[in-house]
Structure 1
Amino acid sequence: MRSRVWGGTAAAVLGALLVTGCGGGAKEGTAPDSRGAAASGAHPVTVTDCAGATTTFAKAPARIVTSNAAGLELLLRLGAGNRVIGTGFPPGKGTLPGALDAQARKVPVLSRSVIPKEKLLGSGADLYLDTFAAMDAMGGGGMGGSPTEEEFKAAGIKHVYLKSTACAAQNKKPVTDLSAVEADITSLGAVTGTTARAKELVAGMRKKVDAVRKAVGSTSPSSRPTYFFFDYDAGTKQPTVVCNRQIANAVITLAGARNVFADCDGDFRQVGWEDVIAENPDWIQLGVRDRGGAAANEKAFDEAEHWLRTNPATKGLKAVKAGHFLRIGSERTTIAGVENADTVREIARTLHPGKVD
């Protein structure tokens, strides 16, 4: 794990923005026109990581590589999509809304998974937006490992993170709101010179979450349904659960539910099925990862549900017998993005019918 990783709290991110930029805006679900976005920013912009090291941008980056679809989507929504020259873990066709999908299709795919070290360093990027704390943890070790910060510097690449995801395990207290995600968007907007658009995105998220909070926020903890995020793709032999430092814990909490593993300090942890059985959740989210299309995603959801219904250890769970499943993808629940707010609303509508518009 790198020592030079951006921290996970909203205060750290917002406090690190010594100077912010400004930029244009567009309606949600569209691809904003980013021509001239770099010129509209107020630079230099300086940000700090959780170790206190600073990174300064004298001007908005012009050649950006993203580690996965989450960073790419945020840049597209901010109106900086025409500056993305490559990505790893690309979004599946049709998984992004409207014009964002068409724009994403134009971005060169440097890898279907982790971008190999030499390809990343030789990409010509001036900024690498990283969603992960360390690429080795995502299987990059067999591709030459993760570049060191010295190697990034030698290649002329500034290395920054989506802190709310990459540094979740370092949070000092449970995450129960989306302020760290909002801070990521604010920070990225300042760096790319699209601050005005970042403000619009954050305002839109807050509007959705505030509506849910108004509708179900007063529900007492004891009256809230219990909720289990089933990370099907992490393996079924031993379940990997989301703990209280992970964004998913905030999404679940804001939606008026109780994460059955909210007493687990950290981001993710492996437990035994006996632990899930002991919690006996009211609802289960089938958290499968994007397969690259609606039909493939539905097939994955079917497989996850079938496994729960037929496995001797889980078929007797309250949620399984009642058919209380939510088919919501992993990424929009566990990785920073505008759709975290949409997931809050979708869960709340299912668990509290008639209360949420």
Structure 2
Amino acid sequence: MLAGCADAPESEPAAVSAADSREGPAFPVDVAACGHTSTVETAPERAVTLNQGATEVMLALGLEDRMAGTAYLDDPEPPTRWADAYASVPVISKEYPKREELLAVDPDFVYASYASAFDPKVAGTPKELDALGVASYLSPFGCEDDSLRPEPSFEAVWEEIEAVGSAFGVSDDAAELVAEQQDVVAGLADDAAGAGTTVFWYDSGDKTALAGVGGGGPQVVIDATGATNIFGGIDGGWEDVSWEKVIAADPDVIALADASWSTADDKIAYLEKDPVLSQLRAVQDKSYVVVPYSQSTAGVTLVDGAASLAEQLSQLSS
């Protein structure tokens, strides 16, 4: 996804930090995704992220000091472990900023999780940004062209982390982060905390339920624990399903996506108030697990979602 120039050295020093690698022989590099390639001439110093997933990759790589701004949290709050780092980055807008607001912070790199961030009224198209000398990167999971979008998986997330690490000259830090996550995933497979447990992943909705189904982040998270998704046979990432189908499946556990627009508490209140849904075994037993919405989407915290689900399933079974 990223290629260095032809005369780049074969290896870098054993320890490369964000500060140490801001200038060096690794640049320029080409950053490519979703059919567009931007050339990063030098390690970016004024990056802007326009979705939570992109922001979290930056913070996980310790790049908050390279950020001129951020926007659009999906969760009610940023992850606790990055709260201080997040607080150090100016918030341009609660949701997407206007293009004028974005350009006012003089970005040299724009990174987003969804193609909607590159609307002409938001960041502008990648080509328009190139014309201004601003490199850009859209997560491959956000490609508008389905043929260019990878299936959600930990491996695809790790490829994105490595791509961003290369763009900012912190490839060693990216490799270390990927190795840590690989160890977590291996441990979850060994423990299989969800073995024998059926799960309904409830994202949002009341007349129908928007469920995590067989081809998205929720499925990756559920699979990592050894549990079974009651709607795992449906293609796609999320799908509206009838409550009748949920009732027929009568899952052991209901996983609740906690999002700013549909909180876990809101969904619990709805389930427990409804005269029919309140009779589900999981509702009767209060067999709920709560996972931040961002941890159910393909991104750097997808592993955290799997680890959290596994821990909560273990607690329910004890």
Alignment TM-score, normalising by the size of structure 2: 0.84
Q: 1:37·1:80 contact (CA, 8 Å) conserved in 2? A: no
CA distance in 2, matches of 1:152, 1:248: 33
Paired position in structure 2 for 1:120:
102
Question: Would you say 1:236 and 2:188 are equivalent positions?
Answer: no
1:247: Cα distance to partner? 2.0
Give the deviation of 1:253 after TM superposition: 0.7
The answer to whether 1:326 aligns with 2:302 is no
Matched, 1:70 2:47: no
Alignment-derived partner of residue 86 in structure 2: 104
Q: Match of 1:113, SS?
A: coil
Task: State the shift of 1:210 in Å.
Answer: 0.3
Change (3 A) 1:243 1:146: farther
- 1:203 corresponds to which letter in structure 2? A
Aligned mates of 2:44, 2:234 — CA distance in 1: 39
Query: Kindly tell me: are residues 82 and 163 of structure 1, through their superposed partners in 2, closer, same or farther at Cα, counting changes over 3 Å?
Result: same
Cα deviation for residue 66 of structure 1 reads 0.4
SS at match of 1:245: coil
**Partner amino acid, structure 2, of 1:134:** S
1:223-280 Cα offsets, whole Å, 9 max, x none, are 6312122113xx3233222233322211111111122222222222223222322332
- What is the 5 A alignment of 1:16-55? 16-19=1-4, 34-39=18-23, 42-51=26-35, 53-55=36-38
One-letter code of the match for 1:282? Answer: D
Change in Cα spacing, 1:73 to 1:44, as seen in structure 2 (3 Å) is same
**Amino acid aligned to 1:194:** V
Q: Tell me how far apart the structure 2 counterparts of residues 23 and 258 of structure 1 sit (CA, whole Å).
A: 44
Q: Structure 2 counterpart of 1:343, which letter? A: G
**TM-score (structure 1 length as normaliser):** 0.76
Paired-residue identity, %: 25
Partner of 1:224: 196
User: Which residue does the alignment assign to 2:309?
Assistant: 347
User: Structure 1 pair 22/114, CA: closer, same or farther in 2 (3 Å)?
Assistant: farther
Q: Tell me the distance in 2 between the aligned counterparts of 1:334 and 1:114.
A: 19
Partner of residue 257, structure 1: 227
- Mark the runs of 5 or more structure 1 residues left unpaired by the alignment: 1-15, 27-32, 292-296
Say which structure is richer in strand.
Answer: 2
Partner of 1:310: 273
Question: Matches of 1:23 and 1:260 in 2, distance apart?
Answer: 48
For structure 2, the residue ranges without an aligned partner over 5 or more in a row are none
* Aligned 8 A contact 2:32 2:137 in 1: no
Question: 1:93-148: per-residue Cα shift (whole Å, max 9, x none)?
Answer: 974344x3222212111110112233224431111110113249xxx89xx46623
The question of whether the paired residues in 2 share the 8 Å contact of 1:168 and 1:247 is answered with no
Q: What is the aligned-residue RMSD (CA, Å)?
A: 3.4
| Secondary structure at the counterpart of residue 344 of structure 1 | helix
